[in-house]
Amino acid sequence: MSDFAARRKPNLDIPWWARWTFPSSRFSPGLLVVVLMGAPSCREDIISPFDEVHAFVGDIGTMVTVEWVISGSSPQLSWVEVTGFDGSERTVDAERDADGTYRARVFQLEPNTPYHYQAAMFRDGYIARSAQKTISTNAVPQVIPELNVEETGSGVGTDGLLLTVLISNISCPVILDANSDLIWWYIQDDEDLAATRALLSSDGEHVLFNSFNVDAVFPSEEGDTGTEVGESYIYKVSLDGSEISVLETPMGHHDFTQLPDGTLAYLTAEFQEHEGQLVRGDGVVELAPDGTVTQIWSAWDDPELYSSWFPSQDFVLPMANALEYVESEDAYYVSLGQIIGIGTFVKIDRGTGEPVWLLGGETSDIEILSQEREFSHQHQFDVLDNGILMFDNGLEIDMDSRAVEYSLDQHSMQAEQVWSYHAEPALYTYAGGDASRLPEGGTVISWGTAGQLDELDPDGQLVRRLNTQLGAATGYLQWLDGLAAEP
């Protein structure tokens, strides 16, 4: 979608000027000219054909559903008009149920805000509107970590929405608008499970997010593989909150992605015994829409991959913590965020499950020509046309995390640092973090456990900085042009 749903005009079978509103108490020459030109008349003084016009706030507190019944013959078109007290306007086409009820869902409203609404229709050359009513959206629930605008910079931002996860003792997928207001949320209130990633589904109708037991990621001192507590799921929540389904993803953790055909791919923890010790590795598993499960890749199938680290710390191989699918290459990119040393990325051919190359670390296949420092313990990333943008957590000794971009030539097998961004003052993130390039060239950064979100313009100038309450974290990111679920 190239524009916000808030600004989109309905898909009309009548000219757009048919929706002009003219005061019923006046008849001007201007109106006469329009009528003579063939435009439909706007008759708001006739007997209203609308029955039972009402609205309610859905399970998602900023989504309003308006329903109405129209007496007489069916109109060519019917819609709802929503107006904010600030003068903002929204027009959304309605769908007609089998019982004759017209229904329109309105998304992207501000929380805890009153709005006027009225139903409208076009029939027999006339436009009619119902009486105007008022409804208020819900406030953001207090259990969701508070997100405050700490700083507004001089840069010019990109229109769009930001989908992420706010993490405290519970995890809450949220969508923020350009004003930094929460316009969508869902509360996953199981304190034993954590979420790190939320995505808009490929059909644009649902929000997907993971939910997994962090204790299952590492084997315990007693040698427990975590399989007894290895709960892991992907939730699928409709944008209006009316439909919720849960998919099991055994031993899944940290990250997942969705392919264009709806297939889900996720990271899994895989435990094996090595020299008398239980060691955790990683894999990539696909879950097709028909329920078929396919193992795409396992770190255990390529011992050379980890030869210089084995075992690294707490009997955990360099931990996979982020996953991306690149459709043009039919390949997965996996971040192996080595806990105590230099990090690595592995590119995996989806068709064969074989590693294509490694970037970073002692076994790197790609030569890095220049960089200010080696990336380490990195997390989420963005694969660019000729490069890779990542969140580099860095080592504790540095106490300076950053977003960093490398050019990447897969023919010459060479890479080079071309850009980086450090917070001022320096900010260290021991877990999580994401850096993503925006459509107009800007960058958005999640500082993970530091609980900060930064948006930069294409010149690297700060547009806005958001901070969560103390002890909360921000998850991985997805930038959205808008929500396309309104009919």
The Cα angle at residue 102 between residues 101 and 106, in degrees rounded to 5: 135
Number of residues in the chain: 487
Domain ranges of the chain: 5-136, 147-480
Q: What is the pLDDT along the chain (487 residues), one digit of tens a residue?
A: 333 333 334 444 444 444 444 333 333 333 333 333 444 555 544 457 898 899 999 889 999 999 999 999 999 999 999 999 999 999 999 999 999 999 999 999 999 999 999 999 999 899 999 999 999 999 999 999 999 988 777 767 788 999 999 999 999 999 999 889 999 999 988 888 999 999 999 999 999 999 998 876 665 555 455 444 568 999 999 999 999 999 999 999 999 999 999 999 999 988 877 777 777 788 999 999 999 999 999 988 876 665 545 544 444 566 899 999 999 999 999 999 865 467 899 999 999 999 999 999 878 999 999 999 999 999 999 999 999 999 999 988 889 999 999 999 999 999 999 999 999 889 999 999 999 999 999 999 999 999 999 999 999 999 999 999 889 999 999 999 988 655 4
Instruction: State the Cα–Cα distance between residues 375 and 78, nearest whole angstrom.
Output: 56
Do residues 387 and 408 lie in contact, with contact meaning Cβ atoms separated by under 8 Å?
A: yes
14-23, Cβ contacts within 8 angstroms, sequence gap of 24 or more:
14/40, 14/76, 14/77, 14/122, 15/39, 18/122, 18/127, 19/91, 19/120, 19/127, 21/129
Topology given in CATH for the domain delimited by 147-480: Neuraminidase (2.120.10)
Considering the domain 5-136, what is its CATH architecture?
Sandwich (2.60)
Instruction: Give the burial class of 453: count Cβ atoms within 10 A of its Cβ; 0-12 exposed, 13-18 middle, 19 or more buried.
Output: buried
| CA-wise closest residue to 67 among 38, 27, 98, 100 | 100
Residues linked to residue 480 through DSSP beta bridges, in sequence order: 161
Instruction: Give the burial class of 190: count Cβ atoms within 10 A of its Cβ; 0-12 exposed, 13-18 middle, 19 or more buried.
Output: middle
| The model's pTM | 0.86
Evaluate whether 5-136 and 147-480 have a shared fold. Answer: no
Do residues 187 and 464 lie in contact, with contact meaning Cβ atoms separated by under 8 Å?
A: no
Cα 278 to chain centroid distance, Å, stands at 36
Instruction: Give the burial class of 122: count Cβ atoms within 10 A of its Cβ; 0-12 exposed, 13-18 middle, 19 or more buried.
Output: buried
